[in-house]
Homo-oligomer: A and B are copies of this chain.
Amino acid sequence: MSRAQLIEQIKQKKSFLCAGLDTDIDKIPEFLLEYPDPVFEFNKRIIDATKDLCIAYKPNAAFYESRGLKGLQSLISTAQYLPKDILSIIDAKRGDIGNTSDNYAKAFFNEETSGMSFDAITVTPYMGNDSVTPYLKYEGKWVIILALTSSVGSQDFQYLNTGDGYLYETVIQKANTWAGADRLMFVVGATKSTEFTDIRKHAPDNFLLVPGIGAQGGSLEDVCKYGMTKDCGLIVNSSRGIIYAGNGEDFADAARAEALKLQQQMQAELERAGVI
């Protein structure tokens, strides 16, 4: 998916909402367990109920891998079901040297070999440009690099002073020399909204994938105040807050209601910033 297509989706839906499909088989409504693939059935209904409100979906690979072959089947079915005009992100946080990254790229971008073709993958930067460039060979695909995360562990290394700012700032600066804002995004945790100002200095045009709204407690208003650009420049994710909004037969309606609430807040922010 191109940057122009992504921006078009945002303007058309008046939303920059990503629904995180962190689907845990122990947390989905019990009646779904009768289906041949309960996790896919759950995802399918969530997607159907929210696809006019979301501009991205983001399955978290770990939740599928933990279930072995069955889990991978759920992920493949979900990948193939995701609407083609909506950005599909695999939250895999891979990061390895060239030869290995080539294979991860096949795993998530090459439907012919793996059954899956996502539009974007999250990547961890520790191994440097090897971790990123192999994915860029796939035209129209995105790499989303971890910069500043919202967990407690982000304190351990991401805030180390490298002499030229914090490590996460160096990551953004360096990565932006490898590709442009039409191919690279960054993960920036929403619990640090005041730092969006600093991040925008290094990444004025990149889209930022922002987890941590909802269950993790970030403020949408702050994120937009400090992080929004003229093209929006934000994809804000909510996982548990949407997908586990309900737990009965009507769970998909509950998910939609939650997504709608977020979409309406997002519309107000887009209007305030003059994006729409």
A107: B residues at CB distance < 8 A? 62, 65-66, 68, 71
A271 within 8 Å of B (CB atoms): no
Query: Residue A171 contacts which of B101, B149, B157 (CB distance < 8 angstroms)?
Result: B157
Known: A60-B100, A126-B125, A127-B146. A68 touches B154 (CB 8 A): no
- How many positions in chain A have a CB within 8 Å of any CB in the partner chain? 60
**Across the interface, do B66 and A76 meet the contact criterion of CB distance under 8 Å?**
no
- Is A73's beta carbon under 8 Å from chain B? yes
Query: Which residues of chain B have C-beta atoms less than 8 A from A154's C-beta?
Result: 127-128
Q: How many copies does the complex hold?
A: 2
The 8 Å CB contact of A114, one of B71, B104, B115, B130, is B71
Q: Which residues of B contact A36 (CB under 8 A)?
A: none
The residue among A69, A110, A146, A156 with the most chain B CB atoms within 10 A of its own CB is: A156
CB of A63 within 8 Å of the partner chain: yes
Q: Does A161 contact B (CB under 8 A)?
A: yes
CA distance A73 to B146 in the complex (A): 30
State whether the Cβ of A12 lies closer than 8 Å to any Cβ in chain B: no
Closest to A25 in B: B113
A98 interface residue (CB < 8 Å to B):
yes
Closest B residue to A170 by beta carbon equals B160
A93 interface residue (CB < 8 Å to B):
yes
Q: What sequence of 0s and 1s flags, for each residue 215-254 of chain A, a beta carbon within 8 Å of any chain B beta carbon? A: 0000000000000000000000000000000000000000
Interface pair B66/A69, CB less than 8 Å apart:
no
Which residue on B lies nearest to A171, using beta carbons? B157
1/0 contact string of A6-20 vs chain B (CB within 8 Å): 000000000000000
One digit per residue, 1 when the CB lies within 8 angstroms of any chain B CB and 0 when it does not, for chain A 88-121 equals: 0000011111111111101100100111100000
Considering the chains assembled together, what is the distance between the CA atoms of A16 and B150 in angstroms? 39
With known contacts A62-B103, A124-B124, A161-B162, A95–B96 Cβ distance under 8 A: no
CB <8 Å contact, B130 and A152:
yes
A71: chain B residues within 8 A (beta carbon): 107, 114
- A22 contact set on B, CB distance < 8 A: 99-100
Contact between B97 and A95, CB atoms less than 8 A apart: no
CB-based nearest B residue for A62: B103
Instruction: Give residues in A with beta carbon < 8 Å to B.
Output: 22, 24, 60, 62-63, 65-69, 71-73, 76, 93-104, 106-107, 110, 113-116, 124-131, 146, 149-158, 160-163, 167, 170-171, 174
9 contacts between A and B (CB under 8 A): A65-B103, A66-B104, A97-B153, A126-B146, A127-B153, A128-B151, A128-B152, A157-B171, A162-B162
